[in-house]
């Protein structure tokens, strides 16, 4: 994780050069409920976010080698395109960010010193129901647990 945080700015710079665009750095975006938020790595144009991943485990591999390895489990090749697997945590992270920010698409930037790839991810309208599940979990389970734990400690 330290490697990824250290190189995130490299991924953003590479993306800006590759796409000839400017990435707007941003902070946290909150839903009106006030307890669900997300912080994309950047905003691009009117309707796009970026998310940068810099995997320590792939840093010494060439891309073809990385794609075939067990370490590169986030995407697969479909013709000339890379596709983010809908079962991967990155997919759910990106869908959450897209729904919270109200944006339509994400460019997932996978950066290493040897190669950089951009995987385009569109918003999945069917994923939106997960926001309601998160709200329900927070209000019906997490918050009561935290309040009970706090009350027990203060008694």
Report how far residue 155's alpha carbon sits from residue 141's, in angstroms, rounded to the nearest whole number.
21
Tens digit of pLDDT for each residue in 8-59? Answer: 899 999 999 999 999 999 999 999 999 999 999 999 999 999 999 887 777 7
Query: Does the structure show a pLDDT above 90 at 95?
Result: yes
Tens digit of pLDDT for each residue in 126-148? Answer: 999 999 999 999 999 999 999 98
pTM above 0.95, yes or no: no
Domain boundaries, given as residue ranges, for the chain: 2-126
Domain 2-126, architecture per CATH:
Alpha-Beta Complex (3.90)
Q: Is 77 helix (H, G, I), strand (E, B) or coil?
A: strand
Query: Are 35 and 138 a contacting pair, CB within 8 Å?
Result: yes
**DSSP conformation letters of 102-125:** T-SEEEEEEE-SS-EEEEEEE--G
Which ranges of 21-124 does DSSP label H, i.e. alpha helix? Answer: 63-68, 89-101
């Amino acid at each position: 994780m330290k490697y990824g945080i250290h190189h995130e700015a490299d991924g953003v710079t590479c993306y800006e050069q590759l796409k000839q665009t400017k990435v707007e750095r941003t902070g946290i975006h909150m839903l009106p409920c006030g307890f669900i938020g997300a912080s994309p790595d950047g905003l691009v144009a009117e309707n796009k976010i970026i998310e940068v991943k810099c995997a320590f485990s792939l840093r010494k591999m060439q891309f073809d080698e990385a794609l075939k390895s067990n370490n590169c489990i986030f995407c697969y090749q479909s013709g000339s395109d890379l596709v983010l697997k809908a079962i991967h945590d990155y997919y759910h992270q990106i869908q959450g960010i897209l729904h919270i920010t109200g944006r339509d698409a994400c460019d997932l930037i996978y950066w290493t010193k040897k190669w950089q790839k951009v995987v385009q991810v569109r918003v999945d309208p069917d994923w939106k129901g997960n926001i309601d599940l998160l709200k329900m979990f927070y209000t019906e389970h997490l918050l009561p647990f935290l309040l009970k734990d706090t009350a027990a400690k203060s008694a």
